[in-house]
Amino acid sequence: AKSRGRGSAIVYDPAMEELKQERGRLELDLRSALANGEFELHYQPLHELASDRIAGFEALLRWRHPERGLIPPDVFIPIAEHTGLIVALGEWVLREALAEAATWPSDMTVAVNVSPAQMADFTLLKQVIAALSASGFDPHRLELEITETMLMQECDDHLQQLERLHALGVRIALDDFGTGYSSLNYLRSFPFDKIKIDRCFISELNAGSESSAIIEAVLDLASKLNMQTIAEGVESEEQLASLRALGCEQVQGYLISKAIPAEDLPISRQFARQK
Ligand code: C2E
Ligand code: CA
Ligand code: CA
Ligand code: CA
């Protein structure tokens, strides 16, 4: 369509229309995907620098669409949130991740991402309690990854819910740290055990850069608040060396490994069972 310039009425845009239809089709497919067993979790290692060992894995959701192949979460999670399917999907993720992690060595943690929609009506608390009791998993080995946007709705429930989960022993991590705008207030109010420094700071990390100064300050803050630290999106040896020098505790990123299917994890199930 020919654009009629600024301030004009809405012009029929075939590309936009195509996108809307595409979204509609995915939305329909998504409704049956859970029942059809089309979701899977991939796991990305959380690497501990001091010991040079894998401290655990973050569970990352994938949709294996029968015709389109593997669809990344950035594409379907917004649709699942919009349709409300995310609540059932979130419950599936928790159960699946805990069942898998129960086969790992007993010193490894599993990190699970949580969506804002799961926070309503104490859903998350109920889902976590159900998944813990179904798997017999130790709550101290579960880390829930929460983003700042989830806490922005002024809601006492959210704080109460996280505090009750925390009291059960579940660890709470603040994901994508530094991308919001009032993080420091959240750090004071919520029971966080861990800060995940967002990838955008890591990608611009080189000695003497602003990012390096910010990371240094965050690490200092975290240590004073008794919180663990992890850097996301580590892709180069240089970034790894800087993070090590700055005293970051854990790293995660393509340099170590991308997220991999459960059956390919570098963990011997035999070993896990024998332990
Ligand atoms: P996130 O929680 O910030 O997860 C990190 C994302 O960065 C993952 O993308 C991961 O594959 C990617 N990543 C890891 N290392 C690197 C690296 O070195 N470089 C680059 N460029 N990227 C890296 P993924 O798996 O596509 O997930 C995207 C987002 O989808 C996640 O961001 C999270 O917000 C959401 N998500 C994934 N799984 C779930 C889930 O089970 N539930 C919910 N509610 N959200 C999920
Ligand atoms: Ca995450
Ligand atoms: Ca993140
Ligand atoms: Ca993110």
pTM of the full structure: 0.92
Nearest CA to ligand 1 atom 17: 233
The whole-angstrom separation of Cα 257 and Cα 224 is 30
Nearest partner of 96 among 127, 74, 53, 73, judged by Cα: 127
Cα–Cα–Cα angle for 238, 180, 139, rounded to 5 degrees: 80
Phi, psi for 196 (deg, rounded to 5): -100, 110
Helix axes 210-224, 237-246, angle to 10 degrees: 40
CB distance 228 to 250 below 8 Å: yes
Ligand 1: distance of its center to the CA of 60 in Å? Answer: 6
Strand-pair partners of 56: 46, 109
166-192 CB burial, b ≥16 within 10 A, e <16 = beeebbbbbbbbbebeebeebbeebeb
Q: What is the CA radius of gyration of the chain?
A: 20
Show the tokens assigned to 127.
């889902």
3-state helix, strand, coil in the chain (%, to 5): 50, 20, 30
The whole-angstrom separation of Cα 264 and Cα 130 is 27
Alpha carbon separation from 76 to 12, 43, 72, 127 (Å, rounded): 25, 18, 7, 21
Instruction: Please state the atom number of ligand 1 nearest to the C-alpha of residue 61.
Output: 38
Is the CB of 73 inside a 6 Å radius of any atom of ligand 1?
A: yes
Q: Which residue has the tokens 């329909």?
A: 28
Cα–Cα–Cα angle for 192, 194, 196, rounded to 5 degrees: 120
N-term to C-term CA, the chain: 65
pLDDT in tens, the chain (275 residues): 444 455 556 677 888 888 888 888 889 999 899 999 999 999 999 999 999 999 999 999 999 999 999 999 999 999 999 999 999 999 999 999 999 999 999 999 999 999 999 999 999 999 999 999 999 999 999 999 999 888 877 677 899 999 999 999 999 999 999 887 766 888 888 999 999 999 999 998 877 788 899 999 999 999 999 999 999 999 999 999 999 999 999 999 999 999 999 999 987 554 444 43
Ligand 3: distance of its center to the CA of 14 in Å? Answer: 34
Is the CB of 235 inside a 6 Å radius of any atom of ligand 1?
A: yes
The whole-angstrom separation of Cα 43 and Cα 52 is 18
Show the tokens assigned to 222.
């975290």
Instruction: Please state the atom number of ligand 1 nearest to the C-alpha of residue 90.
Output: 42
Strand 250-251 to strand 69-71: parallel, antiparallel, or no bridges (unpaired)? unpaired
Is the CB of 176 inside a 6 Å radius of any atom of ligand 1?
A: yes
